[in-house]
A and B are shown apart, each in its own frame.
Chain A
């Protein structure tokens, strides 16, 4: 889970910023 934490976050809330 730690390995893909941004993907996890996007799946659960895609409106959260990805810090572009």
Chain B
């Protein structure tokens, strides 16, 4: 394709990204820097601030029987609710990728099943710095140390995501770069069980060209950025595999834990 077409594709992906995702990297960085004019996020760093935060932060969903459940389970349930929301947002974004909805419907399902968590962990990096992460659409900031202080196995959930995020954030991507990158991730033609790989690879190929051009324009001083970013796709698969293993452990050891049906569908026979 001509470079004008590739720029139009990049612009389109950036627009659908802004439409599909309520919190962007730019917004998140502005909140963390205290530059939004809104209230600064409520910091959760121990059990007392967690209790205060739970009263102060307006969560989108309040799970039932919350009061009596253990802290770790409550936090985990909120992560689940947010993940389900994210799957819905990512689905909307995927549908906006030119050609995606014309793929075999079963292949669309497979691409989402394998892609959503890689997208979630890429985008989670935008909400993180080395000390913690923004929660509840920027109303709160939960510290990394607090998450590490939770009891086993819950203390092991977020730490690998922070480690990945620090490396990923080091690439200095902007929201437009990320938008095109996650489209590339979704359109991976090597997911298990795909029926018709060729049209997926063709779609991914034009998005890859759009990404290469976008990075060249927005980061002229980092000629290796495209290659470095593609390497991150391997790290993402590793993180998802470990995440799935950890969830299996949690499901076995935590009798109180229930897994949302949508997440059950995604995790079932994943890796």
**Which A residues fall within an 8 A CB radius of B?**
1, 3-8, 10-11, 14, 18-20
Inside 8 A of A5's CB, which chain B residues have their CB?
A: 265
Is A3 touching B91 in the complex (CB atoms < 8 A)?
Answer: no
Residue pairs across A and B with Cβ atoms less than 8 A apart, 29 shown, are: A1-B106, A3-B265, A4-B109, A4-B113, A6-B261, A6-B262, A7-B91, A7-B109, A7-B112, A7-B113, A7-B266, A8-B109, A10-B91, A10-B262, A11-B91, A11-B95, A11-B105, A11-B108, A14-B88, A14-B91, A14-B92, A14-B95, A18-B84, A18-B88, A20-B60, A20-B61, A20-B81, A20-B85, A20-B260
Is A11 touching B84 in the complex (CB atoms < 8 A)?
Answer: no
Encode B65-103 as 1/0 by CB contact (under 8 A) with A: 000000000000000010011011001100100000100
- CA A4 to CA B260, docked complex, whole Å: 13
Nearest B residue (CB) for A1: B106
- CA A6 to CA B268, docked complex, whole Å: 13
Q: Which of B60, B61, B260 gathers most chain A CB within 10 Å?
A: B260
Is A6 touching B265 in the complex (CB atoms < 8 A)?
Answer: yes
Inside 8 A of A19's CB, which chain B residues have their CB?
A: 261
CB contact under 8 A between A20 and B84, given known A7-B109, A14-B91, A14-B95: yes
- Chain B min CB distance to A1 (Å): 7
- CA A8 to CA B113, docked complex, whole Å: 11
Inside 8 A of B108's CB, which chain A residues have their CB?
A: 11
**Which B residues fall within an 8 A CB radius of A?**
60-61, 81, 84-85, 87-88, 91-92, 95, 101, 105-106, 108-109, 112-113, 260-262, 265-266, 268
Interface secondary structure of A, over-half rule: helix
Interface secondary structure of B, over-half rule: helix
Inside 8 A of A14's CB, which chain B residues have their CB?
A: 88, 91-92, 95
- CA A19 to CA B63, docked complex, whole Å: 11
Inside 8 A of A8's CB, which chain B residues have their CB?
A: 105, 109
Inside 8 A of A3's CB, which chain B residues have their CB?
A: 265, 268
Inside 8 A of A1's CB, which chain B residues have their CB?
A: 106
- Chain A min CB distance to B88 (Å): 6
